[in-house]
Amino acid sequence: MEALEHLKSGVEIGGYRVLEKLREGGMAVLYRVASPSGAETCLLKIPKLGFGSHPACYAGFDVEQMILGRITGPHVPRLFAKGESEFGPYLVIEHIVGTPLADYAGRAPLPVDEIARLGAALASAIHALHRQEVVHHDLKPSHVILRPDGRAALIDFGLAFHGHLPDLVEEESDRPAGTPAYLSPEQLAGVRGDPRSDVFALGVILYLLATGRLPFGEPASLSGQCRRLYIDSAPPRRIRSDLPPWLQEIILHCLEVRAEARYATAAQVAHDLTHPDQVMVTERGNRLSRPGLMTAGRRWLAALVEPPAVRKSPAAHLALAPHVLVAVDPTYGSEALLQTLRDAVARIIAGEAHWRVSCVSVLEPSALTEQEEGAEIMRSLHTQRLVELHHWAQALGLPQERLRFHVLEGGDAAAQLIEYARASHVDHIIMGARGSSGLRRFLGSVSSRLVAEAPCTVTVVRAVPVRDWPP
Amino acid sequence: MKIAVLSDIHGNLEALRACLAHAAREGADLHVFLGDLVGYGADPVACLGLLADHAGRGALLVRGNHDEAALGGLCENMNDDAREAAYWTRSRLSTAERDFLAALPLTVRRDRLFFVHAGADAPEKWNYITSKVQAGRCMDASPTAVTFAGHVHHQSLYFSAGSVRVFQPVPGVPIPLSPRQRWLAIAGSVGQPRDGNNAAAYALYDEEERMLTYFRVPYDHMTAARKIIVAGLPARLAWRLQRGK
């Protein structure tokens, strides 16, 4: 029998023909293989084990096989085949072509807009994973590949966690599973399955891209790693003074010690990275020195009395943090309809701890804006609409830092809203029903298109005039 | 081969029928009944009739402590309700049913699967598997990598590749069982669930795919409870079917 480290090209496993050895990691050997039809090249992964290896060494391989079998989408490699060969168990997965994030990290510090673009793509990929009940638990630049279309794909699920499947990852007694530089405080405490651990690792990656340094270094000892439970990283702006405060705000928000204090979802990080003007910069974004020993002491004391976290599945975590989009047209409809919209928002976020509400309005071009000074007129209409949105939202009485405001411009309001909802991982759209004039019936309404095409739940509210009640 | 594993039926005909119908829809090819076929419920004879039919068609069965109690003995280890139900069940069984129960083995092995009512380490002692330590002993004693047991009336999945761990299965979600771990599946109870959910419980194992799925099946528990009252069995046994506790 051939050793699996040296499969010759031409050898067939499960119908896939070996082309060449790609690389040999600590845990597995990767080969490039041709699919049975010969049309595609894929990756063949074989766990690297010698005679008499402990069965637990297979755990990472089994976890990857189990989880890849359950997740789909452009953000993860597809699983083509799995099985047992004479060389042991094997997996055939998609060969994701693109640039490893590690290449970008090697060039860090990067320009701010590039960090925002890469970070948003990565955050979107992480959110897509969390929505499928999976926490990656080993995010780092070498486990992220940027596809040519700009989307990020995550690889290597050997330490991942699925909320509905047994957790096979064996942790050594004194050491949590993962890469020390990227481990979240709760992972260091032995907690697995919290999606906000991935948000922490995302913060470490953003920090690295922004400064060229790791926020907590690469401590080898567990005690060195546990410093991050009490002591913050140096603020990125101290290392790189031209870094905008909004980006530091986002990075340090991801790196909060307590998971509760971090972004509730990676989707919120993606949203903020794509709309930096909407990020409310606090002391966190402006600070140039890390919190002192008093803070460290307080954290140490707080950790002593903190009740153990309640275990929730990854998707249950996300359910607490819905992103609600409310489509408002302040120029149309009665005050009654605008109030009905507010009531609907209040009802939908009631009881959810970490909601975010985006108030969105679509500005459609008119004959006026197509004139010579059109751009100028459009700008002023844009500002006017933004002011009206804020005015509408004031009566909601909700905390400012949880609200976002966007005026979209374009002819096709429904398409604009659907695209915004898709890109911003919106969970729920609320909008008002307009009247039922003959023209509207003929043209079709925005709300009916949203109901049919939006990638999420849509609630259409209607203010019923008193004279029509009971209907 | 898809194998439906049904444990702790306890003479509950409504629950048994609902689970068999569910398993049929899921494409079960083989049934394994993990003991405690009778006791507590008001339909021991009807249930045994149904099970004997299945046995005739190749189903596998093992014996549980309540099946043993229905054959004789003082039942000192049982609580009052269980003992009263055992005595009541005895009075209903004919020779044919008693012979059927008496012929049941304590364990059954089928290829690479092992079936037992309680702990595989000492099946005749009827130990409850409620901890990782007990699960570890059971897995160590089992001759196969995948073992099915009942006896405790809730569903769980123990696994080990060194240290024993436990997983709380989510109903309806198929779980791949890696060949590089040992597995102990506790199937839950068809006829008397006790985890606060009154739906009947069973498990389905797809041998080729190595996929295990736990199911919860709502059934007409009101009728099953009413029959218990009418039969003069302890009323508490009826209430607990409604509450699933």
pLDDT of residue A444 exceeding 80, the answer is no
Q: What is the pTM of this model?
A: 0.91
Query: Considering its fold, how many domains does chain B have in total?
Result: 1
- Confidence class of residue A466 from pLDDT cuts 50, 70 and 90? low
Domains contained in chain A, CATH given: 4-94 (3.30.200.20), 99-169+176-312 (1.10.510.10), 322-468 (3.40.50.620)
Beta strands in chain B (DSSP E): 2-6, 30-33, 60-61, 107-110, 113-116, 146-149, 155-160, 164-167, 175-176, 182-187, 200-206, 211-217
- pLDDT-based confidence at residue A376 (cuts at 50, 70, 90): confident
Chain B residues with beta carbon closer than 8 angstroms to that of A64: none
Q: Which residues of chain B have a pLDDT value below 70?
A: none
User: Under DSSP, is residue A120 helix (H, G, I), strand (E, B) or coil?
Assistant: helix
Chain-centre distance of CA B181, in angstroms? 23
A392-409 in b/e form (b: 16+ CB < 10 A) is bbeebebeeeebbbbbbe
Say yes or no to pLDDT of A443 above 70. Answer: no
Residue A435 distance to chain B (closest CA, Å): 44
Q: How far is CA A314 from CA A306, A350, B218, in A?
A: 21, 21, 27
Output phi, psi for A383, to 5 deg.
-65, -45
Q: Give how far B169 is from chain A: nearest CA, Å.
A: 7
Could you give the CA distance from residue B79 to residue A342 in angstroms, rounded to a whole number? 59
Alpha-carbon A12 to chain mean position: 38
Indicate the residue type of B104. L
Residue B173's pLDDT is what? 96
**Residues β-bridged to residue A431:** A327, A460
Strands B155-160 and B30-33: unpaired
Query: What CATH number is given to the structural domain containing B190?
Result: 3.60.21.10
φ and ψ of A50, to 5 deg: -95, 180
> Tokens standing for B121?
């380490």
- Report how far apart, in Å, the C-alpha atoms of A155 and of each of A68, A106, A454, B2 are: 10, 19, 29, 33
Band of residue A1 on the pLDDT scale cut at 50, 70, 90: very low
pLDDT of residue B77: 86
Q: How many Å lie between the alpha carbon of B151 and the closest alpha carbon of chain A?
A: 22
Would an 8 Å CB–CB cutoff place A166 in contact with chain B? Answer: yes
Cis preceding-peptide flag for A109 (omega within 30 of 0)? yes
Which residues from chain B sit within 8 angstroms of residue A165, using beta carbons? 167, 173, 175-176
Residue of A58, A69, A167 lying closest to B180 (CB–CB) = A58
In this complex, which of A55, A165, A167 lies closest to B180 when CB atoms are compared?
A55
Q: Pick the residue with more confidence: B76 or A243?
A: A243
Chain B residue closest in CA terms to A173: B163
8 A C-beta contact, residue B132 and residue B167: no
Domain that holds residue B46: 2-243
Among the partner-chain residues A56, A66, A165, the one whose CB lies closest to the CB of B162 is A56
The single-letter DSSP state of residue A7 is P
Nearest to A55 among B161, B165, B176 (CB): B161
Question: Would you say A177 and A71 are in contact if contact means Cβ atoms under 8 Å apart?
Answer: no
Q: Which residues of A touch B176 (CB under 8 A)?
A: 65-66, 69, 165
Yes or no, beta carbons of A62 and B178 under 8 Å apart? yes
CA–CA min distance B12, chain A (Å): 30
Interface test with A, best of B168, B181, B183 (most A CBs within 10 A): B181
CB-based contact, A171 to chain B, within 8 Å: no
pLDDT, residue A177, reads: 82
Q: What residues of chain B lie within 8 A of the CB of A54, using their CB?
A: 161-162
Q: What is the pLDDT of residues A419-442, one digit of tens each?
A: 999 999 999 999 998 765 555 555
Residue to mutate among A61, A62, A312, with most B CBs inside 10 A, is A62
pLDDT at position A273 over 50: yes
How many other C-beta atoms lie within 10 A of the C-beta of residue B159?
Answer: 23
Peptide bond into A470 cis (omega under 30): yes
Decide: B34 and B113 in contact? Cβ < 8 Å: no
DSSP 8-class letter at B125: G
Residue in chain A closest to B175 (alpha carbons) equals A165
E strands, A3-67, in order: 12-13, 16-24, 28-34, 41-47
According to DSSP, the residues that pair with A90 across neighbouring strands are: A83
Q: Is B173's CB within 8 Å of A165's CB?
A: yes
Q: Which two tokens stand for residue A221?
A: 């000892």
Q: Do B181 and A69 touch (CB under 8 A)?
A: no
Chain A CB contacts of B167 under 8 Å are 165-167
CA of A61: how far to CAs of B37, B131, B180, in Å?
A: 40, 27, 10
The bridge status of strand A356-363 relative to strand A152-154 is unpaired
What is chain B's length?
245
Across A192-208, average pLDDT: 97
- The amino acid present at A8, given as its one-letter code, is K
The segment with the largest mean pLDDT, out of A36-50, A97-111, A159-173, A220-234, is A97-111
Mean pLDDT, chain A, whole residue set: 89
> For A87-96, A265-274, A329-338, which range has the lowest pLDDT when averaged over its residues?
A329-338
| Cβ–Cβ below 8 Å for A168 and B178 | yes
Give the number of other CB atoms < 10 A from CB of residue A31: 25
- Percentage above 90 pLDDT, chain A: 62
Interface membership of A453 toward B (CB under 8 Å)? no
For residue A40, the model assigns a pLDDT of 83
- Minimal Cβ distance to A166: which of B157, B163, B179: B157
pLDDT at residue A286 is higher than 80 = yes
Q: Distance (Å, rounded) from C-alpha A74 to C-alpha A71?
A: 10
Residues of B with CB under 8 A from a CB of A: 157, 159, 161-163, 165, 167, 170, 173, 175-176, 178-181
B201 vs A313, which has greater pLDDT? B201
- Cα–Cα distances in angstroms (integers) from residue A128 to residues A141, A429, B104, in the given order: 18, 19, 51
Q: At what angle do helices A195-211 and A245-254 cross, to 10 degrees?
A: 140
The mean pLDDT value for A78-87 works out to 88
Q: Which two tokens stand for residue A424?
A: 């911003």
Chains A–B, number of C-beta pairs less than 8 Å apart: 43
The DSSP bridge pattern shows strands A99-100 and A161-162 to be: unpaired
Buried b (16+ CB within 10 A) or exposed e, A85-122: bebebbbbbbbbebebbeebbeebbbebeebbbbbbbb
pLDDT at A446: 87
pLDDT classification of A139: cutoffs 50, 70, 90: very high
In whole angstroms, give the CA distance from residue A128 to residue A133. 9
Task: Please tell me the predicted confidence (pLDDT) of residue A4.
Answer: 62
Beta-sheet pairing, A88-94 with A144-146: unpaired
Give the pLDDT band of residue A470 (cuts 50, 70, 90).
low
Sheet holding B155-160, edge to edge: B107-110, B113-116, B146-149, B182-187, B155-160, B164-167
Q: What distance in Å separates the CA atoms of residue A262 and residue A184, rounded to the nearest whole number?
A: 11
CA distance B201 to B192: 9
